[in-house]
Structure 1
Amino acid sequence: MSFYDVLQRGDEFILKDRPGQSRIWNFFSQATCMAVVGGSKAILGLFYNVNVKGLDNLDHGLAKARAENRGFLTLMNHMSVCDDPFIWACLPWRYFLSLDDIRWGLAASNICFNSKASSTFFSLGKLFACERFGRGPFQGGLDALVRILSPDDTLDTDHIFQGTEKSIPVGSTLATDVRSFYSPRYTPPVLRYKTSWVHIFPEGYVCQLKPPHNNSMRFFRWGTARLILEPTVAPVVVPIFTDGFEKIVPEAKVDDVVDSVLPQGIGSTITVNIGKALDDRIIEAFRAEWRALCDKYHDKLHPNDLSFELKFGKEAEALRSRVCDYLREKVAQLRLENGFPPEDERLKSQKFWSEYTKTDGASAPDIQFVGYNWAVRAYQKNTKTYDEYGNEISK
């Protein structure tokens, strides 16, 4: 189920770096996206061989989402800093003729949103800032994606009061605010004519490992599960696995100024494997578990927001973990189809990666990165410090 306060925070975050309902903004946003995709297409067409498998799965998934008035969610492994936008350069131009057909996504705030100019550029590129290194899954960028995946005409009081035992007093200020939010006078934060497409990289960081672990994945971060559980209606979910982008920008070259901006591995093959839409029955089963937890752990004093137990309780965290494990397994199946051997079982575990990162790889010296493990805070700039509940700690 959805919560009014989450959707409202999503609205506010969407409007943080962009105007609402602006046709002029939409024009420049689509122009920005098409320009970047066009440049990427030129590079791929000139220097690489692109093999796209399962494009009909993408077509069918998007058509299903639109026909059923649902959001569309794609998720993919993260092998290179060029994954986005080069993944889109592999698709036909018809995916970019409407701004509503261009994906929304997340980008690292410490890299892509560290100045007014970069914030404007990436906002025009339909990306929201995501804070890493301890901020956790309950932050503005993810609230925004929950809202984006919630079709505008599905926002109603059923998504507020479900599981609250109607505990908001009739005539209270809060009840008035709620009705106002969902009233005909309410203006959605973006101008759109179709339900939206969201694309994410659930690993959160680029992951290039040396053989024999090459093209393996990290665990999927729990914010991904929010995009399954919390929109007003279940999204249609399509998994994607790619390989070859790591040859265009190998992490070993990041310290070389020239090599870091010039494409590498000329002549390499880029393979994009798009899976079928995931089983709606499984997605709905997860959402039914979530609704049961919302009934069990709603906060009667603050019924329109996630309670502490729904954020940090063991049952809620276990559900998010199972959702992410399921999604990761579906992407991993596509990896096998691309010809790679089964992954090391350790790499599926959040606990393994936490210890591996904390020890800078010393806990598993047989697993080595090409370049850096970017999950290590010391390797990145402009980062903030948070406590275990995602609250910023003043330095």
Structure 2
Amino acid sequence: MGSVPFAVGAFSKLFLKAGCRSVRVDGLPQFLERLKGDRGVLTVANHISVVDEPFMWGTLPLRTFLDSRRTRWTLGASDVMFNGKLDRWFFEKGQVIETFRGKGIYQKAIDESSKKLDAGNWVHIFPEGRIKQEELHSLRRFKWGISRMLMECERVPLILPVWIKGFQEVMDEPRVWPNYLPRRGKDVTILFGEPLNPLIEPLLAAYKARFPVPWRPGTYDRPVGQDLEDEPHELATMRSEMAEAMRQGLMELGGRVGEVEKLPPSRITGW
């Protein structure tokens, strides 16, 4: 395994341990056990700051970052993370899949993510598609790419929700002077939830019964509107239902933040 995930994971762990006033983590042992299996794992989380990635993974033991299959893959915007040779090297080594905003759900990044999941890897998504710091208890409509990612998996992965709170105080959006660096002394809460598979697998079964062979357009990288004009009408409905089921499942996990915040601060594990 390369040094980038390990170094970034170590820095994130250091910040959680030394830079935060308190960190409360719920459900981590169960999450770590699920990463050990040979089944792919898809995590979905709310997105509240520019440091959610990578700081939220500072809760994981450092040894996790030495195993590429137990280190998350994620999608990153090309115009933000792949602007130069150094950026490209860093984020590719950090297991970030280049994604092009505005090119719809039929693009290679989604194909690659499905293949990673079929191979037993872990893929993480912020399905809202951008940071949301207002009304932290609710979520934007999920982008449809996450539904297509699951629809085209040959083997359904574990679908695990993760809810985060507090990072919006560590570094808000937009970053303006003097807030170029993460703020210290904040309270952070991270919840790892139970699988959403009971909600999603019946919808996937209905999709595969209707489309035994996944529908794809003749040309990739088009705006979503063009794809909607060409694809079967019920396909968009199925994607929307699946995305909404995941959204509701994630918000249900977020509803437990209050009870977790009443618990004593957690110990951030080392190795």
Q: Is the pair's TM-score, using the shorter chain for normalization, greater than 0.5? A: yes
Q: Match of 1:149?
A: 117
Pick closer, same or farther for the CA change 1:297–1:95 going to 2, 3 Å: closer
1:129 counterpart = 2:98: yes
Pick closer, same or farther for the CA change 1:147–1:279 going to 2, 3 Å: closer
Contact 1:103/1:198 (8 A) holds in 2: yes
Q: Secondary structure at the match of 1:270?
A: strand
Q: From 29, 35, 44, give the equivalent of 1:56.
A: 29
Measured in 1, the distance between the counterparts of 2:215 and 2:191 equals 40
Q: How does 1:18-29 map to 2 (within 5 A)?
A: 27=1
Q: Match of 1:97?
A: 66
Measured in 2, the distance between the counterparts of 1:240 and 1:138 equals 26
Q: Match of 1:294?
A: 211
Cα deviation per residue 1:274-332 (whole Å; 9 max; x = unaligned)? 1011234x433222222123249869xx8xxxxx7897332011101011111011110
Q: From 114, 132, 149, give the equivalent of 1:207.
A: 132
Q: Match of 2:194?
A: 276
> Structure 1 residue 105: deviation in Å?
0.6
Q: Residue 59 of structure 1 aligns to which amino acid in structure 2?
A: L
Contact 1:61/1:276 (8 A) holds in 2: no
Q: Which has the higher strand share?
A: 2
Cα deviation per residue 1:210-232 (whole Å; 9 max; x = unaligned)? xxx23432111000112221111
Contact 1:50/1:90 (8 A) holds in 2: no
Measured in 1, the distance between the counterparts of 2:103 and 2:160 equals 27
Q: From 179, 201, 209, give the equivalent of 1:259.
A: 179
Q: Secondary structure at the match of 1:202?
A: coil
Cα deviation per residue 1:139-191 (whole Å; 9 max; x = unaligned)? 1111110111112xxxxxxxxxxxxxxxxxxxxxxxxxxxxxxxxxxxxxxxx
Measured in 2, the distance between the counterparts of 1:296 and 1:33 equals 36
Pick closer, same or farther for the CA change 1:150–1:276 going to 2, 3 Å: same
Structure 1: gaps of 5 or more residues: 1-26, 152-194, 303-307, 341-395
Contact 1:242/1:270 (8 A) holds in 2: yes
Q: Residue 119 of structure 1 aligns to which amino acid in structure 2?
A: R
Pick closer, same or farther for the CA change 1:44–1:309 going to 2, 3 Å: closer
What percent identity do the matched residue pairs reach?
33
| Structure whose CA Rg is larger | 1
Q: Residue 328 of structure 1 aligns to which amino acid in structure 2?
A: R
Which stretch of the first structure deviates more once superposed, 69-78 or 236-245? 69-78
Measured in 1, the distance between the counterparts of 2:107 and 2:54 equals 24
Q: Match of 2:142?
A: 220
* TM-score, structure 2 as length reference: 0.85
Contact 2:200/2:245 (8 A) holds in 1: no
Measured in 1, the distance between the counterparts of 2:44 and 2:212 equals 29
Structure 2: gaps of 5 or more residues: 219-226, 260-271
Q: How does 1:1-395 map to 2 (within 5 A)?
A: 27=1, 30-48=2-20, 49-63=22-36, 66=37, 69-132=38-101, 134-151=102-119, 195-209=120-134, 213-252=135-174, 254-256=175-177, 258-260=178-180, 262-264=181-183, 266-280=184-198, 282-295=199-212, 312-339=231-258
Q: Residue 51 of structure 2 aligns to which amino acid in structure 1?
A: C
* TM-score, structure 1 as length reference: 0.59
Contact 1:71/1:235 (8 A) holds in 2: yes
Measured in 2, the distance between the counterparts of 1:142 and 1:223 equals 7
> Structure 1 residue 125: deviation in Å?
0.3
> Structure 1 residue 111: deviation in Å?
0.5
Cα deviation per residue 1:314-355 (whole Å; 9 max; x = unaligned)? 201110101111101111011111139xxxxxxxxxxxxxxx
Measured in 2, the distance between the counterparts of 1:61 and 1:284 equals 18
> Structure 1 residue 269: deviation in Å?
1.2
Q: Residue 157 of structure 2 aligns to which amino acid in structure 1?
A: P
Contact 1:74/1:238 (8 A) holds in 2: yes
Q: Residue 144 of structure 2 aligns to which amino acid in structure 1?
A: W
Pick closer, same or farther for the CA change 1:51–1:296 going to 2, 3 Å: closer
